Amino acid sequence: MRLITTLAALGGHPIRFSAVAAPDGDPGSTVIAPDPRARIGRVRGVRATKGIPYAPKLRMDVLTPEGSGPYPLVVYLPGGGFVSARRQMAAKQRRYVAAAGFVVASIDYRTTSVGATYRDGLADVAAALEFLRANAAEYGVDPGKVAVWGESAGGYLAAMAGTDPANKLGAVVDVFGASNLATVADGFDAETVAYYTSAGSPIPAYILGPDRAPADYPDEMRQADPASRVTAETPPFLLLHGDDDRIISPSQTARLHQALLRADVESTRYVVKDGGHGELSNHPDLWTSIDLMDRVVAFLRAHLD
């Protein structure tokens, strides 16, 4: 993740940290305190196929459990502040999930670094799903059992993909992703709020294009909010957020969680005590704890296996 902050800064979109944590207080969520000392390690029984082209200039890495299959498919969407998307991220977590009996495909997708918006990112997710379903036998995939899993910017895209019925998903895992990007910094200090809601920030740029402020385009921002797209047919969600996240306010996943519950969609939200924004935090080991990762695996098994 240090590479992500460097790339963002070099691209003119530095990742800003709030001086204060934002309150959560969502009544429908469960606070968990994983033991950071009990962390997942490198697992065996998984074979890797890397650099598979699935769309022009885009590639994926696929992890497949050893065995005959077919296995349920989980498509992983990396974070990167909407500036970059490196499929190599979360290597230990992806291998852990694959070893539990899932094909895990991590994909590149287009970002603001190439002038893309979220519509391009969603098109890339759809293209990856289509490719993997079309080549299900080659990669040991059960095309009828598919989930998406994303972190940060990837969590946002996972939520958006999950609220599109055309993707035919069975489950969504959203790890500290945004929902309403116009309020992504709610509860943070005033300077951070101003930065993330101003024209030129990478967050509004990924929704609106460059040099457009969210306040001037409320309808477009609403269309880009997964909470506004939830229906009774939306698949089950697992949402995770740290209570000390200084980049994406915890209110974002709380807002989406409440929208899902109002639509009678199954949604589970865990608030990680002392958890920040993944590796960009004071306690990154919480996000590779056995407790947390076993909750992710259990959710995927319940809805795909």
Around Cβ 294, how many Cβ atoms within 10 Å? Answer: 14
Q: What mean pLDDT do residues 262-279 have?
A: 96
Q: What mean pLDDT do residues 257-264 have?
A: 98
The predicted structure's pLDDT at residue 8: 47
Angstrom distance (rounded) from CA 117 to CA 111 = 7
Q: Express as a percent the part of the chain with pLDDT over 90.
A: 82
What distance lies between CA 299 and its chain's CA centroid? 15
- Which pLDDT band, with edges at 50, 70 and 90, does 261 fall under? very high
pLDDT tens digits, one per residue of 120-161? 999 999 999 999 999 999 999 999 999 999 999 999 999 999
Specify the pTM: 0.94
- Which pLDDT band, with edges at 50, 70 and 90, does 6 fall under? very low
The predicted structure's pLDDT at residue 161: 98
- Which pLDDT band, with edges at 50, 70 and 90, does 1 fall under? very low
- The CATH number linked to 261 is 3.40.50.1820
Around Cβ 177, how many Cβ atoms within 10 Å? Answer: 28
pLDDT tops 80 at residue 9? no
Looking up tokens 């109002």 gives 262
Mean pLDDT of the chain: 93
The predicted structure's pLDDT at residue 69: 87
Looking up tokens 């990669």 gives 139
pLDDT tens digits, one per residue of 98-112? 999 999 999 999 999
Residue type, 284: P
pLDDT tops 90 at residue 202? no
pLDDT tens digits, one per residue of 18-58? 999 898 879 899 999 999 999 999 899 999 999 999 999 99
Angle, vertex CA 229, rays to CA 227 and CA 231, nearest 5: 100
Give me the number of domains the chain comprises: 1
The predicted structure's pLDDT at residue 14: 66
* DSSP states of the chain: -HHHHHHHHHTT-PPP--SSPPP---TT-EEE---TTSB-----SEEEEEEEEEETTEEEEEEEESSS--EEEEEEE--STTT---TTSSHHHHHHHHHTT-EEEEE----GGGT--HHHHHHHHHHHHHHHHHTHHHHTEEEEEEEEEEETHHHHHHHHHHT-GGG--SEEEEES--S-GGGTTTTS-HHHHHHHTSTTSHHHHHHH-TT--GGG-HHHHHHT-GGGG--TTPPPEEEEEETT-SSS-THHHHHHHHHHHHTT--EEEEEETT--BTTBSS-GGGGGBHHHHHHHHHHHHHHH-
Tokens of 77: 């969407």
Domain containing residue 299: 2-304
Write the burial class of residue 201 (CB in 10 Å: 0-12 exposed, 13-18 middle, 19+ buried): buried
The predicted structure's pLDDT at residue 201: 85
The predicted structure's pLDDT at residue 13: 54
Angstrom distance (rounded) from CA 26 to CA 17 = 22
pLDDT tens digits, one per residue of 179-194? 998 899 999 999 999 9
pLDDT tens digits, one per residue of 240-251? 999 999 999 999
